[in-house]
Amino acid sequence: MASKLWEKNVQVDHDVERYTVGRDREMDMYLAPYDVLGSIAHITMLQSIGLLTADELDVLTAELRSIYVEIEQGRFAIEDGVEDVHSQVELLLTRRLGDLGKKIHSGRSRNDQVLVDLRLFIRSRIEDVVAAMTRLFKTLQEQSERYKNVLMPGYTHLQVAMPSSFGLWFGAYAESLADDLAVMRAAYHITNRNPLGSAAGYGSSFPLDRAMTTRLLGFASMDYNVVYAQMGRGKTERVVAQAIAGVAATVSKLAFDACMFNSQNFGFLRLADEFTTGSSIMPHKKNPDVFELTRAKCNRLQALPGEITLITNNLPSGYFRDLQLIKEGFLPAFDEIIDILTMVDAMMRQVKVNEHILDDSRYDLMFSVEEVNRLTQSGVPFRDAYKQVGLEIEAGRFCPVKQVAHTHAGSIGNLCNAEIEELYRHELDRFDFDTYHKAFNQLLGRQS
């Protein structure tokens, strides 16, 4: 078995290695490109404080850049017997450059290395999540505008209540995503801070230039206090998981609505055939499995903040190996939510709405309040009008006028979609992904 970075003279038991490394080799593959970027920033800073010569920096940077390309091209793996990505990158450097490779770790610990890797990874993946959210947001707004004149029943207690519309229904989920984006922005804000230089969690006697690595990695600021920087492990993941869970909650509610409205007993929506699945016994079936799985996947994502809370809950400050396990649920969550958003976007684009729902007399009573309001506007006191319509309904004499004239802000006749778009755009514009793109390109010696 290959040796460990920290191994001195006692052989590590195989079962203990299996138990402690667990799924870390697989999980660390998510972090590999960011580990290399963090190392390039770190050694650039080491050279500036005299711990590497300019020549050494050039040689190391060139080698780290080629490891980055190997990762991009899928030619990088964490070998058996190597504990994690941090060890693998250092191993490659020492194999290729000899003792020079051993110099990169001055003033650093794997504790702040994994912290910075996670921050860089999360920042990039939030950008992808936001792009997927934005596509769905636009689709929902477009559908809201397209169907703004198509009425449907609104429900309370799942009982027919008042007139609603597809304009409201689609638009509601767009506005929900705008709020979810605000939470995502807050999560991004605490992610976009540099923990590098906190080392094992207590800093270093080297005069590390933390402002320099902060700039080189395109962070908005550093985590100043080194103890707090280490406390960010688990906290960052929890806050980001909560932001993902918020998006999942929105989508899961939409998925339930869609399943229900697609059922024959409602018949408000028709999902495109390619998004439904058949039954092995009932030849007529077109089941909304895609939305059902969406609902379950979203619900599972909502369990993630709870899982992270439980892993971290009773830990005092300082690093503990417990934190490693967070990666297993957390790192794959980004692909999952992006997959969900992409699928739901495709379905929402193709969904067909029933423009004749109100022809069915079972929905007549949703116009009762419209009738009360009409009488009220003609001078009848509200309570009397309410009673008059109530008696007509009881006597089976209620005859609805199937028209609505809602004009106030946010209602059927005045959706405020432009204002909702403005709300979304306001958050979107404040992410500033460009700063870190430029920083990464510089570290990699690529054109911006």
Q: Is 8 in the site for ligand ARG (CB under 6 A)?
A: no
Q: Among residue numbers 16 through 35, which ones bind ligand ARG (CB under 6 A)?
A: 24
- CB of 338 vs ligand ARG, minimal distance in Å: 23
Nearer to ligand ARG by Cβ, of 238 and 295: the residue is 238
- CB of 19 vs ligand ARG, minimal distance in Å: 13
Q: Is 331 in the site for ligand ARG (CB under 6 A)?
A: no
Residue 373's identity, in one-letter code, is: N
Instruction: Kindly determine how many residues on this chain lie close enough to bind ligand ARG according to the rule CB under 6 A.
Output: 9
Count of Cβ atoms closer than 10 Å to residue 239 Cβ: 20
Among positions 111, 165, 176, 368, the unique one binding ligand ARG when judged by CB under 6 A: 111
Nearer to ligand ARG by Cβ, of 198 and 252: the residue is 198
Nearer to ligand ARG by Cβ, of 110 and 210: the residue is 110
Residue nearest ligand ARG by beta-carbon distance: 324
Q: Is 117 in the site for ligand ARG (CB under 6 A)?
A: no
Among positions 25, 42, 108, 110, the unique one binding ligand ARG when judged by CB under 6 A: 110
- CB of 320 vs ligand ARG, minimal distance in Å: 8
Q: Which residues contact 351 (CB under 8 A, 6 or more apart)?
A: 143, 258, 269, 270, 271, 272
Q: Is 198 in the site for ligand ARG (CB under 6 A)?
A: no
Q: Is 114 in the site for ligand ARG (CB under 6 A)?
A: yes
Q: What is the 3-state secondary structure (H, E, C) of the chain?
A: CCCCCCCCCCCCCHHHHHHHHCCHHHHHHHHHHHHHHHHHHHHHHHHHCCCCCHHHHHHHHHHHHHHHHHHHCCCCCCCCCCCCHHHHHHHHHHHHHHHHHHHCCCCCCHHHHHHHHHHHHHHHHHHHHHHHHHHHHHHHHHHHHHCCCCEEEEEECCEEEEEEEHHHHHHHHHHHHHHHHHHHHHHHHHHCEECCCCCCCCCCCCCCCHHHHHHHCCCCEECCCHHHHHHHHHHHHHHHHHHHHHHHHHHHHHHHHHHHHHCCCCCCEECCHHHCECCCCCCCCCECHHHHHHHHHHHHHHHHHHHHHHHHCCCCCCCCHHHHHHHHHHCCHHHHHHHHHHHHHHHHHHCEECCCHHHCHHHHHHHHHHHHHHHHHCCCCHHHHHHHHHHHHHCCCCCCCCCCCCCCCCECCECCHHHHHHHHHHHHCCCCCHHHHHHHHHHHCCCC
Nearer to ligand ARG by Cβ, of 101 and 201: the residue is 201
Cα gap 316→319, rounded to integer Å: 9
Q: Which one of the spans 87-95, 237-245, 306-314, 315-323 is the region binding ligand ARG (CB under 6 A)?
A: 315-323
Q: Among residue numbers 255 through 294, which ones bind ligand ARG (CB under 6 A)?
A: none
Nearer to ligand ARG by Cβ, of 16 and 401: the residue is 16
- CB of 191 vs ligand ARG, minimal distance in Å: 17
Cα gap 37→64, rounded to integer Å: 8
Nearer to ligand ARG by Cβ, of 237 and 371: the residue is 237
The crossing angle, in degrees rounded to 10, of helices 434-444 and 24-48 is: 80
Nearer to ligand ARG by Cβ, of 3 and 277: the residue is 3
Nearer to ligand ARG by Cβ, of 34 and 319: the residue is 319
Q: Is 165 in the site for ligand ARG (CB under 6 A)?
A: no
Q: Is 237 in the site for ligand ARG (CB under 6 A)?
A: no
Q: Which one of the spans 7-15, 259-267, 318-326, 396-404 is the region binding ligand ARG (CB under 6 A)?
A: 318-326
Nearer to ligand ARG by Cβ, of 111 and 143: the residue is 111
Q: Which one of the spans 52-60, 96-104, 234-242, 321-329 is the region binding ligand ARG (CB under 6 A)?
A: 321-329
Among positions 75, 321, 352, 408, the unique one binding ligand ARG when judged by CB under 6 A: 321
Q: Among residue numbers 80 through 109, which ones bind ligand ARG (CB under 6 A)?
A: 84
Residues near ligand ARG (CB under 6 A): 24, 84, 110-111, 114, 319, 321, 323-324
